[in-house]
Structure 1
């Protein structure tokens, strides 16, 4: 099965965090432990070098390659998605390095570009697509994304190497722009749509998008995702995607599944630091893993990336309220083994 088929089949892909010690050094044992956690939780792959891995990592190509290599070794056999940053030349160099390590696809991230215009993004997508199958990325503005037109998405889908798009604007109107542009496109059945909307995971997974084009009915469904929130509670995420698939097959969405949607929003609000405009979103993911004992520190590369006041306490609160959604028992049972040599 090719990359595009695997992505359309319904995937759980956690956005892989970067494990740092309190002194700011990469914690290799914890880095491996995280990948082991995702693999044993049943994740279909991992995305490394993305926002949750911390975009500033791309400023140190050697360290980036080491982090990519560790994930590729531990996660062998699963889908490996490399977050690709920078202007075209740098992005192509990163894609070539990731391809050499066995990565299957490139997620096109806007960080590090000198000018984030639609034309620059399209030019970069074409160039990276000569190296690896590519995944478009609609990143919310509060963490470095920008608004993109339906015309942009139509042109992106014209690029044959684009196999998927991650919709993560945290905005229903903009998510709809992506889906409607794809529904209108000749490649509508070829390109997978992955949810990245951590505030609307269940809604994305169970809501069909339909349109009549040329007298024929078309339907697109989001069958999986690539998410920062799935860097925690990964085993629960795998079960959630299976529940959503069963609901789609049955043609009815149980009230219990919709209730889970609300619970996940509550978890996300704490982890992603909604109270402070997502300022502590990356540190929040790390803090969950630190409280669970998988990481020794919630530290991030950039000094401004830190927990907001009260965020650690709010995270502790959702861990108590929603232990099943955060894999509390599963992590506790296997953590020491994952952290072992």
Structure 2
């Protein structure tokens, strides 16, 4: 099993497309290199932000292999698994391992509101099928299935289930997890607008969205909090909040891709049925981004 720590800033990166709807690996590489230079701790491919549900199997393979080659072992490359069947989830894990991934992020079964028993069995089947370390993505707000602490109790019998992407939007859950499992289950905040609060309460890291456009600021907040420099982190976080709110929105992909354009590390191209923002909403988002870029804070040494 590839060894790494579930800690730090892990961008859930966007997938870049050309104007004629092909993978844009050139611009994708520009963004990944900006993430690396900012000091992120891992890269996550194929999440909601990555428009994974629109990618073909061949495109996913090409994206993983390209990223693994580009990263060249410097930081882990984590693949998100969001499948409708257990068989497909196991296959996706096998493919990720073959293609050189370092770890997996896993959603519960998609499009079926599985019971607790079924959800645990789904995760167990994948855990048994791979040696890769796994982070369970717990997001009952968007995906309607909560992985409870009692469910984690069963899942933690598997050594490769090691972390949770905590997106319940209940900060007190971090304390409950720590009280119950200590350091056995690493916690990464999955909600941009709760990230600093989560880190202060003991989260080990941040699976981030606006990092796609603002990597240095995101890493700075994490590093400053971990160093106990709360005032400096708070100043950056307050500047960042209007931008972070673009992540908790149904059009988060379009929002964040617009932000990537503004910082020079992305394009606006999305894949149908998604379309670029229009009208008043586009103007609103662009004004938030423009204000953020104009008032970008100085980043202290850390």
2:205 pairs with 1:224: yes
Contact 1:287–1:312 (8 Å) recurs in 2: no
Tell me the equivalent position of 1:125: 123
How big is each residue's C-alpha offset from its partner over 1:98-150, in whole Å with a ceiling of 9 and x where there is no partner? 111221111002464544333332222222223121101112534x3534433
Tell me the equivalent position of 1:99: 97
Contact 1:110–1:145 (8 Å) recurs in 2: no
> SS of 2:165's equivalent?
strand
Tell me the equivalent position of 1:214: none
Using the TM superposition, give the Cα deviation of residue 2 of structure 1 relative to its aligned residue in structure 2, in angstroms: 6.3
Using the TM superposition, give the Cα deviation of residue 151 of structure 1 relative to its aligned residue in structure 2, in angstroms: 2.4
Identify unmatched segments of 5+ residues in structure 2. none
How big is each residue's C-alpha offset from its partner over 1:287-309, in whole Å with a ceiling of 9 and x where there is no partner? 1112334333332x341465364
C-alpha change, 1:146 and 1:115, in structure 2 (3 Å) is: closer
Aligned partners of 2:288, 2:62: CA distance in 1, in Å? 33
Contact 2:34–2:265 (8 Å) recurs in 1: no
> SS of 1:235's equivalent?
helix
Contact 2:190–2:206 (8 Å) recurs in 1: yes
Contact 2:224–2:230 (8 Å) recurs in 1: no
Match of 1:279 among 243, 246, 250: 250
Contact 1:223–1:241 (8 Å) recurs in 2: no
Contact 2:42–2:76 (8 Å) recurs in 1: yes
Taking only aligned residues, the RMSD between alpha carbons, in angstroms, comes to 2.8
Paired residues in the alignment total: 295
C-alpha change, 1:112 and 1:146, in structure 2 (3 Å) is: closer
C-alpha change, 1:257 and 1:11, in structure 2 (3 Å) is: closer
Instruction: List structure 1 segments (4+ residues) > 6 angstroms apart after TM superposition.
Output: 324-329
Tell me the equivalent position of 1:146: 145
> SS of 2:277's equivalent?
coil
Aligned partners of 1:311, 1:232: CA distance in 2, in Å? 19
Tell me the equivalent position of 1:205: 199
2:63 pairs with 1:76: no
Using the TM superposition, give the Cα deviation of residue 227 of structure 1 relative to its aligned residue in structure 2, in angstroms: 1.6
C-alpha change, 1:157 and 1:179, in structure 2 (3 Å) is: farther
Tell me the equivalent position of 1:183: 179
How big is each residue's C-alpha offset from its partner over 1:181-234, in whole Å with a ceiling of 9 and x where there is no partner? 45223xx22221111121111111112xxxxxxxxxxxxx21321122222211
Aligned partners of 2:196, 2:112: CA distance in 1, in Å? 35
- TM-score normalized by the length of structure 1: 0.77
Aligned partners of 2:67, 2:276: CA distance in 1, in Å? 24
C-alpha change, 1:135 and 1:287, in structure 2 (3 Å) is: same
2:173 pairs with 1:196: no
- TM-score normalized by the length of structure 2: 0.86
C-alpha change, 1:85 and 1:33, in structure 2 (3 Å) is: same
Tell me the equivalent position of 2:9: 12
Using the TM superposition, give the Cα deviation of residue 259 of structure 1 relative to its aligned residue in structure 2, in angstroms: 4.0
Using the TM superposition, give the Cα deviation of residue 152 of structure 1 relative to its aligned residue in structure 2, in angstroms: 2.5
Using the TM superposition, give the Cα deviation of residue 154 of structure 1 relative to its aligned residue in structure 2, in angstroms: 2.9
Tell me the equivalent position of 2:167: 168
Aligned partners of 1:67, 1:293: CA distance in 2, in Å? 21
Tell me the equivalent position of 2:269: 298
C-alpha change, 1:69 and 1:36, in structure 2 (3 Å) is: same
Aligned partners of 2:297, 2:266: CA distance in 1, in Å? 15
How big is each residue's C-alpha offset from its partner over 1:41-98, in whole Å with a ceiling of 9 and x where there is no partner? 211110001111113145x211111111111111122111100121211111111111
